[in-house]
Structure 1
Amino acid sequence: MRASAAQRHDRLLDLVREHGTVRLSDLAERLTVSAVTVRRDVEALAEQGLLDRAHGSVSWPERHALPQQPPDGGGLVLGMLAPSATYYFAEVIRGASEAAARAGARLVLRISDYRPAEDRARTEGLLEAGAQGLLIAPGWRGPDDPAEHGGWITELPVPAVLLERRPAPGSALEELDRVSSDHRHGVLLAVRHLVGLGHGTPLLVARADSPTALAVRSGYGEALGALGLRAPAPVIDSVPAEQDPEGFEAAAQALRAAVESGKATAALVHNDVDAIQMVQRLAELGLRVPQDLALIAYDDEVAALAGTPLTAVAPPKRHVGRHATELLIERLTGGAAQSADEPRRHVTLLPRLNVRASCGAGDGNPSA
């Protein structure tokens, strides 16, 4: 089966991270794609600040370097399952790696590529590699995935902490330690900020292909209820432009129609990449940000790099990785009796709103 662009980008970044500097011709050979495809992928990733380009080669940015891990045989071994090593989860992994290094522990990483059916096998690989405790961010996408692909997590033979995942109330997974961002609060920050600037109720343009996307959608309804607002129109379904150009165009046209009809003057868009591409497409359709539409992105990975820097909700990704690792290490080093008596913890960290130019409020200091 041919890998998607997102999967190919993850593999490309893994190769560069592993080797430091890689020739483009070697990348094309390893990824079994054409030189043109590799150059296009590298250009896209370099624009996001994830790689440094040189003539004929590409390097891992020094600013993204992870802390030096202790050598094999020393300290605890922690396993980490993540759905991706790029975009959102790159910062989560970085926070976990930093916390592990400070504790003298070794972090071993496995990537599931958002294939929840493979999570269990990847985790078994971590256990075979000697992991004494696990940090688990399952590759769930839809609302049914936790029930279908999550039961095995409660049967693990070592302590585990869920990352950026909030199981359904009453499920067995609720008994696990977890650390996650409060995306509902993040959406509330965005809606309240736009309304405070004098806009009517903002529209939501969002994906539905990840736990974060689903939390943003549910948080939108809760935010409107908390602020006594009513949605000006249904949520606009967004999709990645490169995977579904027609679906993305439909979302852009729906947002354009809402603005031109006077139904909305503001919008929250999940995620950053979609928001940047949406602004570009709206400009082609004659709508300007922020003059015609105030816009806030969700994730704050690359929002500041847009032509008009985007105000964005920034989940505390790095802190999620750090707090989860510290919690896991505490479980592993606190003693059997203490671990048995200690109640499980659900740690929820609040996002912040980084205000820039796209909502018409200038590019002042971040606000929370």
Structure 2
Amino acid sequence: MRQSAAERHDRLLALVREHGTARVADLADRLGVSPVTARRDVEALAAKGLLDRVHGQVSWPERRAAPDSARRSGEGLVLGLLAPSATYYFAEVIRGAHEAAARAGARLILRISDYRPEEDRARTESLLAAGAEGVLVAPGWRGPQDRTAYGDWLAELPVPAVLLERRADPGSPLDALDRVVSDHGHGVLLAVRHLLGLGHGTPLLVARGDSPTALAVRAGYAEALATLGLTAPGPVIDSVPADQDPAGFERAVRALHEAVGSGRASAALVHNDVDAIEIVRRLAELGVKVPEDLALIAYDDEVAALADTPLTAVAPPKRQVGRYATELLVERLTEDPTEETARRHLSLLPRLRVRSSCGTPGGASGASAGAPRGTSDRAPGGDV
């Protein structure tokens, strides 16, 4: 597969940072490109101040330290952020991080991995090459196997690092890093309790399995049923994007349709919003209406309110994850190095935003009792 210029630049920066100094000809050989291309890349990076170039060689640039007074306040810091995507879920995480960096007087620079965990290290190295003194890292892991194969390097970074929306195996080197995450187990529990409070039996789970969030929702579902002493009305229904796998999507819809038609389930939790909207549309074509025949809660709350029937949704605190993680990183970079401070694992609680897709107690359609349609953040038992 042909590399983009950005990918090539990231690899080049990682090579120079690893070796300190390198000949342009050697870099061309390592990158598998022509000397002309390598020279052009080096010139572009040197022009941005990311490399020092002298007589056919490049070296890692010297950094000038900011005054101590600025460092103590966070002013002038350069922070790096690696995210798997700049859209959907992580758009809000990035926004929160950017807002917190601006308040601290720091500059935030961004790299996107496109959910390619094998590129995470090179992307992070390029953040360091661009001057990042600390990094916020949301690796592009899709499952536990990626965490095992592409995670150890994070514990070896020469600068402070905070994990975003990612958990580590207990006792592993990554477990010693600061991290800020959404408590998806709590979010699932809110959804299940809400549906039970409306008089439904145990809801089915329809979920993807291709991201850490999806896997956390699945684990949270099992934990919620155990906590509440419930038995699932059927196996978890595997969801896939309708545009990427039409046949797989149709299987998921048919499985949910059969569960409703047979009376096994009258409620469902669906991860994520986009899938939930498409599932509601397809179910209607098959004669199953939301909320009359099926109460439905979506997970993520990115576009749930925009459905024809606005969907009740679990909303992870995405912007706050970015904000708290950035504040924690700034604290690490400005704290007194002679003082030993404990690392932190911070879990933030999602909210349940009640709209129209669950009906009301007794099964009538409409918004939750006592709340205007599409506006409530209430769940049974108070504000969540």
Structure 2 unaligned segments of length 5 or more: list them: 4-74, 361-366, 379-383
SS in structure 2 of the partner of residue 118 of structure 1 = helix
**Which letter does structure 2 place at the counterpart of 1:302?**
V
User: Which residue in the other structure is 1:353 paired with?
Assistant: 352
User: Deviation of residue 144 (structure 1)?
Assistant: 1.1
User: Which residue in the other structure is 1:344 paired with?
Assistant: 343
Question: Cα deviation per residue 1:40-85 (whole Å; 9 max; x = unaligned)?
Answer: xxxxxxxxxxxxxxxxxxxxxxxxxxxxxxxxxx700000000000
2:305 is aligned with 1:294: no
User: Which residue in the other structure is 1:133 paired with?
Assistant: 134
Report the Cα distance in structure 2 between the residues aligned to 1:228 and 1:156, rounded to whole angstroms: 44
SS in structure 1 of the partner of residue 201 of structure 2 = coil
Aligned-residue CA RMSD (Å): 1.2
SS in structure 2 of the partner of residue 336 of structure 1 = coil
SS in structure 2 of the partner of residue 127 of structure 1 = helix
Q: Percent identity?
A: 75
SS in structure 1 of the partner of residue 338 of structure 2 = helix
User: Which residue in the other structure is 2:206 paired with?
Assistant: 205
2:172 is aligned with 1:171: yes
Structure 1 residues 277 and 165: alpha-carbon distance in aligned structure 2, compared to 1, 3 A threshold: same
Report the Cα distance in structure 2 between the residues aligned to 1:182 and 1:324, rounded to whole angstroms: 15
**Which letter does structure 2 place at the counterpart of 1:366?**
D
User: Deviation of residue 160 (structure 1)?
Assistant: 0.2
Length, aligned pairs only: 296
Question: Cα deviation per residue 1:133-181 (whole Å; 9 max; x = unaligned)?
Answer: 0000000001211111000000000000000001121211100000000
Report the Cα distance in structure 2 between the residues aligned to 1:170 and 1:333, rounded to whole angstroms: 27
Report the Cα distance in structure 2 between the residues aligned to 1:269 and 1:166, rounded to whole angstroms: 22
Report the Cα distance in structure 2 between the residues aligned to 1:295 and 1:330, rounded to whole angstroms: 41
User: Which residue in the other structure is 1:24 paired with?
Assistant: none
Aligned with 1:366 (options 377, 380, 384): 377
User: Which residue in the other structure is 1:241 paired with?
Assistant: 242
Structure 1 unaligned segments of length 5 or more: list them: 4-73
SS in structure 2 of the partner of residue 199 of structure 1 = coil
User: Deviation of residue 289 (structure 1)?
Assistant: 0.2
User: Deviation of residue 2 (structure 1)?
Assistant: 10
User: Which residue in the other structure is 1:51 paired with?
Assistant: none
Question: Cα deviation per residue 1:79-109 (whole Å; 9 max; x = unaligned)?
Answer: 0000000000000000000000000100000
Report the Cα distance in structure 1 between the residues aligned to 2:332 and 2:338, rounded to whole angstroms: 11
The ranges of structure 1 where at least 4 consecutive aligned residues each deviate by more than 4 angstroms after the TM superposition are none
Report the Cα distance in structure 2 between the residues aligned to 1:214 and 1:171, rounded to whole angstroms: 19
SS in structure 1 of the partner of residue 298 of structure 2 = strand
Task: Report the TM-score when normalising by structure 1.
Answer: 0.79
User: Which residue in the other structure is 1:85 paired with?
Assistant: 86
**Which letter does structure 2 place at the counterpart of 1:324?**
A
SS in structure 2 of the partner of residue 360 of structure 1 = coil
User: Which residue in the other structure is 1:62 paired with?
Assistant: none
User: Which residue in the other structure is 2:143 paired with?
Assistant: 142
Task: Report the TM-score when normalising by structure 2.
Answer: 0.76
User: Deviation of residue 302 (structure 1)?
Assistant: 0.4
**Which letter does structure 2 place at the counterpart of 1:170?**
G
**Which letter does structure 2 place at the counterpart of 1:349?**
L
